[in-house]
Structures are given as structure tokens and as C-alpha cells.
């Protein structure tokens, strides 16, 4: 298998939405708005990192990273997600490749850290852990995970980009 991970191009937008929609269709905690979130982030120029996974010229996965704000004023923190792999392509290492390249891109742009909401069973393998110093209102701490990319600590309440409220 030769998976190519590359930045999104304008011609990928429809494929990204379709992959995202299908990946989250049977996700137990999804409101099926993830594709709208990506579109709203892009419209607001807040898709700091947007990578696609390509197999034989077809987009089969995607990862989005966007800036978050933290109440202590810490800068350079990003929110990871949504991340999606086309259902029939899951379990073949594409999610890992997207995660590793996404985190590498964050380091490249000088990010200080990354947060996400998700299943620790998947994300702890990439270094994410619950961080008692950071909270996301309304989300149980066990599903709110952080990864520091430098030595500066961040403390406080985290807010994802307003695009995460998009419903259409």
C-alpha cells in the first residue's frame, strides 16, 4: 500500500466532505456535522493544517487542525479534528499516517501544543494524555486530551474555533 499524505488542494473539498461524512456516519458521539465544521473552518481561513490521504489518486482520509484559544493567553495551541478515514480503508495505518504527519506539520509551523476531544484508546499512542491543567467546558476530562509540543505549559479553559458550532 502506498498512501500519499499531502496538503489539501481546492479540488479536494468535495471528496474531503464525503470521506468525513461517511467516516462519522456510525460514530456513537457524532452529530454528523463534522463535514460542515471543516467547511466553516476553511471559509474562516482557520484550517491551519488540512491534509488528505490519497490511495491511487483517490482521497480516502483527512485531518484538520485549527487554532484554539486558552484562557491564560497561551499562544500557538491547536485543536486536532475532525480526522477521518473512509470506512473500507480503516485499520490499514492511514489514520496513523495522518496523525503523524499532522503533528509533524504542527511542529513545523512552531506550534506549542495540541488538544482534541476523542477516544483515549486511539490518541494516547500518539502522546496525547489527559491534562488536568486544561479543561474544555462540557466535555468529560477523560475525553479531552492534550499534547505539549514545547516546554511552555498552558493552563485554563480551552475554546475551539467558532466553526465547531457549524451545523450546515
Residue 23 engages ligand COA in binding (rule: CB under 6 A): yes
34 closest CA partner among 126, 121, 153, 160? 160
Please choose, out of 70-78, 120-128, 134-142, 144-152, the segment that lies near ligand COA by the rule CB under 6 A.
Answer: 120-128
Residue 160 · residue 44 · CB < 8 Å: no
How crowded is residue 157: how many other Cβ atoms within 10 Å of its Cβ? 12
Residue 74 to residue 72: CA distance in whole angstroms: 6
Q: Please, what is the Cα angle at 139 between 147 and 107, to 5 degrees?
A: 20
- Helix 34-43, helix 13-24: angle, nearest 10: 150
Q: Does 24 bind ligand COA (CB under 6 A)?
A: yes
Residue number, nearest CB to ligand COA:
95
Residues 122-151 as x/- pattern, contact with ligand COA by CB under 6 A: x--x--------------------------
Q: Which of 27, 31, 58, 155 binds ligand COA (CB under 6 A)?
A: 27
Least CB distance to ligand COA at residue 146 (A): 14
Considering the complex, what minimum distance in angstroms separates the CB of residue 75 from ligand COA?
Answer: 25
Which chain residues interact with ligand COA by CB under 6 A? 23-24, 27, 83-85, 90-96, 118-119, 121-122, 125
Amino acid at each position: 500500500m502506498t498512501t500519499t499524505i499531502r496538503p489539501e488542494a481546492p479540488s479536494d473539498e468535495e471528496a474531503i466532505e464525503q470521506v468525513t461524512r461517511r467516516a462519522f456516519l456510525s460514530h456513537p458521539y457524532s452529530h454528523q456535522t463534522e463535514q460542515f465544521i471543516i467547511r466553516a473552518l476553511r471559509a474562516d481561513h482557520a484550517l491551519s493544517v488540512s491534509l488528505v490521504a490519497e490511495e491511487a489518486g483517490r482521497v480516502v482520509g483527512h485531518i484538520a487542525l485549527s487554532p484554539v484559544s486558552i484562557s491564560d493567553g497561551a499562544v500557538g495551541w491547536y485543536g486536532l479534528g475532525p480526522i477521518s478515514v473512509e470506512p473500507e480503508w480503516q485499520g490499514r495505518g492511514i489514520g496513523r499516517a495522518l496523525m503523524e504527519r499532522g503533528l509533524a506539520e504542527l511542529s513545523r509551523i512552531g506550534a506549542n501544543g495540541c488538544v482534541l476531544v476523542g477516544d483515549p484508546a486511539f490518541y494516547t499512542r500518539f502522546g496525547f494524555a489527559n491534562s488536568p491543567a486544561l479543561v474544555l467546558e462540557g466535555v468529560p476530562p477523560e475525553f479531552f486530551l492534550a499534547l505539549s509540543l514545547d516546554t511552555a505549559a498552558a493552563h485554563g479553559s480551552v475554546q475551539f474555533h467558532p466553526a465547531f458550532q457549524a451545523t450546515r
